[in-house]
Amino acid sequence: MTTSERIEDIAIAMVAEGKGILAADESTGTIKKRFDSIGVESTEASRRDYREMLFRAGEAMKNHISGVILYEETLFQKAADGTPLVDLIRDAGAVPGIKVDKGAKLMPGSEVETVTEGLDGLRERLIRYYAAGARFAKWRAVIAITADTPSWNCVKANAHALARYAALCQEAGIVPIVEPEVLMDGEHSHHSIERCYEVTEWVLKTQFSELYDAGVNLEGLVLKPNMVVPGQKSGQQVSVEEVAEKTMRCLKSTVPPLVPGIAFLSGGQSDADATAHLSAMNAMFTPPWKLTFSYGRALQAAALAAWQGKPHNVAAAQRAFAHRARMNGLAATGAWRTELEQAA
């Protein structure tokens, strides 16, 4: 590992000013759903073409994207002209990353709560991913709010697994993205913003305690949390300012200032909401960490709709991607305005 590849330096590059992370790590099942929505068959070639189109979107990638999370298939794929996709990402000045978890599986005895699997064999996989060019990784834990969840067992099990994953990543010279996501898509009317705050605070306090116990270097990780928002089906309406205020309060009470950056997930928010909330946090507060984005659907939905799987739509799709990337890049510095959306 060269000195320029210290995990602390990679983590700082991942949260560079005005840039954020593109989550392009949809599993084969998820990308099929996305492609079904535009009537495109999901094949290795169509998945490659779609992602190559994003990675070759020069304006978006060079100016607004600091890193790209890949699915394992994509990490080893080559572009149509034979260039490894990892090289396209590096040439744009972004850091290639890899999703390493094996998915959330139901906990014994529960019909709601899950624990994320994938620790067995992870050390060996990380060596292979590092050799292929990956310099950060992602592991997502999922916490559901219902009338009687989350349980302490679920919070603890997921925090422990995330900490073990993070320690293994750092051992391999790879920056871990630590993603404990409190879901916003519960069916339940009692998933208020206040309840989301309580659960998110509990999850993050537990997470940093586990990271400490596992000996994880806080300067060499990026946190990927949910924002503090009401559940989608709670019926509660809150302002952008309230989301920003409660999210910042929760993070300040749980996340040590040594962490270089927080890259939010969009978690089912609309494209515009995800951008507005991030911008408000940066405009209203002076956070001790970089606050940026790690969005999948919120960066890609417009591009996917414009593409429709047709080569003659590539330029239009790249423009749609560039617009969302620019809007979120502005949000990462608190400079986004609604008018800028209309101007496009």
**Model confidence over 162-212: pLDDT tens digits?**
999 999 999 999 999 999 999 998 666 779 999 999 999 999 999 999 999
Dist CA 103 CA 144 (whole Å): 15
For residue 63, which of 271, 280, 321, 344 has the smallest C-alpha distance? 321
Residue 1: the pLDDT is 43
Dist CA 231 CA 323 (whole Å): 28
| Amino acid identity for residue 283 in this structure | A
Is-catalytic flag, 252? no
Cis upstream peptide for 180 (omega within 30°) = no
Residue 2: the pLDDT is 45
Ordered domains of the chain (ranges, CATH): 3-343 (3.20.20.70)
Tens of pLDDT, residues 125-152: 999 999 999 999 999 999 999 999 999 9
Residue 157: the pLDDT is 98
Dist CA 158 CA 172 (whole Å): 21
Dist CA 89 CA 126 (whole Å): 19
Positive or negative: CA dihedral 202, 262, 144, 153:
negative
Choice among 19, 99, 138, 224 that is catalytic: 224
Q: Is the pTM of this model over 0.85?
A: yes
HEC string of the chain? Answer: CCHHHCHHHHHHHHCCCCCEEEEECCCHHHHHHHHHCCCCCCCHHHHHHHHHHHHCCHHHHHHHEEEEEECHHHHCCECCCCCEHHHHHHHCCCEEEEECCCCEEECCCCCCCEEECCCCCHHHHHHHHHHCCCCEEEEEEEECCCCCCCCHHHHHHHHHHHHHHHHHHHHCCCEEEEEEEECCCCCCCCCCHHHHHHHHHHHHHHHHHHHHHCCCCHHHCEECCCCCCCCCCCCCCCCHHHHHHHHHHHHHCCCCCCCCEEEECCCCCCHHHHHHHHHHHHHHCCCCCEEEEEECHHHHHHHHHHHCCCHHHHHHHHHHHHHHHHHHHHHCCCCCCHHHHHHC
Q: Are 243 and 279 in contact (CB under 8 A)?
A: no
Q: Are 197 and 154 in contact (CB under 8 A)?
A: no
Residue 5: the pLDDT is 86
**Alpha-carbon dihedral angle through residues 22, 159, 285, 341, given to the nearest 10 degrees:** 30
Tokens standing for residue 102:
């094996």
Dist CA 129 CA 286 (whole Å): 36
Which residue(s) pair with 177 in the sheet?
138, 222
For residue 200, which of 223, 233, 216 has the smallest C-alpha distance? 223
Count other Cβ atoms within 10 Å, centred on residue 76.
14
Rg (CA), the chain: 19
Dist CA 141 CA 159 (whole Å): 8
Q: Can you say whether residue 309 is alpha, beta or left, with left for phi > 0 and alpha for psi between -120 and 50 degrees?
A: left
Residue 185: the pLDDT is 84
Residue 268: the pLDDT is 87
Residue 167: the pLDDT is 99
Residue 187: the pLDDT is 64
The rounded average pLDDT for each run of 10 residues, N- to C-terminus, in the chain (344 residues) is 77 98 96 97 98 97 98 98 98 98 97 97 98 98 95 98 98 98 82 96 98 98 97 92 98 98 94 96 97 96 97 97 97 96 73
Residue 190: the pLDDT is 79
First to last CA, the chain: 43
